[in-house]
Chains A and B, each alone.
Chain A
Amino acid sequence: MKVNTNFTKIFKEIHQEKWVALSENQAKVIDFDANLLRLRKRLGERRNNYVYTKVLRFDTEYCFSLAWQND
């Protein structure tokens, strides 16, 4: 199975800072939500078949930071 690693086409602004459920080949966004547990509940019995990722904001340079968590 060819796995998609280019998310530029499938991640839209609405997905930023959300949990996204991807199809097994990572080519399609199945659903998304701010809360992973709620997303998995909504996906029901197929929840364990999907691949989950949390989409970083597009305007963000990533580095491991925790300071802003304590808001």
Chain B
Amino acid sequence: MAKRLKWKEYDYSVQSGPGNSWIYRPVLKIVVSTKSSERVHVLAMIDSGTDSTVLDASVAESLNIDPRACQKVRLGGIGTAEGFLSTISLSVPDMDIEMNIPIVFAHHLPMEGLLGQRHFFQRLKIRFEKDINKFYLAAI
């Protein structure tokens, strides 16, 4: 018998956009941490168009991650940039989910972070219902 999924409902976050519009985005609070005592609660957007999870390098700096000790990676989107990779703990506190996954850090992202296909989408079922500006997560 198929496992019954327990969906958790979230509202899209809304922020002012161009021309006094309101922009709704599927933003989720995550907590990232290393073995140090530092942990950062940060909002990140769920983005099926991004390969991996990408966070602004400022978050790595706050977690005392030394970029010189990390593997370099190349990011591509509109343009290219160099980032660095570090395996850290990422948790979704609402759902009691914690995963140790490689995260790409890049400097000067326009937003704080993106939760991408690899690892994040593999650990969670994600359902977007844009017409009502809600999204749903379920642990697999």
Could you tell me if B47 and A64 are in contact, using CB atoms closer than 8 angstroms?
A: yes
Q: Decide if B120 is an interface residue (CB 8 Å cutoff).
A: no
A64 and B29 contacting across the interface, CB-CB below 8 Å: no
- Verify B22–A54 contact, CB threshold 8 A: no
Bin the interface of chain B by size. Answer: 35 or more
In chain B, positions 95-135 with a C-beta closer than 8 Å to chain A are: 106-112, 114
**What string of 1s and 0s marks CB contacts (under 8 Å) between A32-71 and chain B?**
0001110010000000111111111111111111111110
A35-B58, A64-B114 known; A5-B78 Cβ under 8 A: no
List residues of chain B with CB within 8 A of the CB of A63: 77-78
**Which residues of A pack against B, CB within 8 Å?**
3, 5-8, 11, 17, 19, 26, 35-37, 40, 48-70
